């Protein structure tokens, strides 16, 4: 009789723990349902122990304890398979995210290199424009076009937002 009371108390503690973990958002609902079912099945077995013997005789199992052990092993096997499946899925997701981050980093590195080249060209154009002004170069319509298109006539990169991502385009 003491084992039955202890089983019922453990089932109540298990249910209280599951609800507390849910309240703190430390256990996801899909796993909580599984453990709540375990607690709710264990609870009546603790307070009505002869029901287990009735179920085991109805299933043709010699002892209620044998039935509990068998069902516990099957349950744990299913939990292990499910967790292995989750781990595999998360590993694949992690791999694809790592590949995406690597591509973004490569693109960023390429954009920084391109920006460095454009800044060097702009500095060079400023230097040649200053030399031209010192030598008496004329200012005209061509100079205004240079300002619109960049100092060397090439289009200058523009950063725009598209779907929350920065995109470098050209004028």
Q: Is the pLDDT of residue 111 over 50?
A: yes
User: Measured over all CA atoms, what is the biggest interatomic distance in the chain, rounded to whole angstroms?
Assistant: 110
What pLDDT band is residue 84 in, cutting at 50, 70 and 90? very high
pLDDT tens by residue, 4-57: 788 888 889 989 999 999 999 998 888 888 888 888 888 887 788 788 888 889
**pLDDT at 109 exceeding the cut of 70:** yes
137 pLDDT above the threshold of 70: no
The pLDDT score that the predictor gives to residue 136 is 58
Give the domain ranges of the chain.
1-48, 64-128
- Cβ burial of 52 (10 Å; 0-12, 13-18, 19+) is buried
Please tell me whether the overall predicted TM-score, pTM, comes out greater than 0.85 for this model: no
Check residues 137 and 71 and name the one with the higher pLDDT.
71
Ramachandran region, residue 168 (left: φ > 0; alpha: ψ -120 to 50; beta: rest):
beta
| Whether pLDDT at 128 is above 60 | yes
Confidence of residue 115 (pLDDT cuts 50, 70, 90): very high
Residue 148 is predicted with a pLDDT of 45
Looking at the DSSP bridge assignments, the partners of residue 169 are: 158
């Amino acid at each position: 009789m003491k084992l039955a009371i202890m089983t019922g108390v453990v089932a109540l503690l298990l249910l209280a723990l599951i609800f507390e973990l849910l309240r703190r958002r430390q256990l996801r609902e899909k796993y909580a349902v599984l453990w709540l079912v375990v607690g709710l099945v264990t609870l009546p077995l603790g307070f009505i122990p002869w029901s287990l013997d009735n179920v085991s005789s109805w299933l043709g199992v010699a002892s209620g304890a044998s039935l509990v052990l068998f069902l516990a092993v099957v349950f744990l096997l299913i939990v292990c398979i499910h967790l292995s499946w989750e781990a595999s899925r998360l590993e694949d997701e992690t791999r694809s995210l790592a590949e995406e981050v690597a591509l973004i980093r490569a693109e960023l590195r390429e954009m920084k290199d391109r920006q460095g080249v454009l800044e060097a060209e702009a500095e060079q154009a400023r230097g040649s424009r200053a030399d031209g002004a010192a030598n008496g170069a004329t200012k005209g319509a061509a100079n205004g076009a240079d300002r619109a298109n960049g100092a060397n006539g090439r289009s200058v990169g523009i950063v725009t937002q598209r779907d929350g991502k920065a995109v470098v385009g050209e004028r």
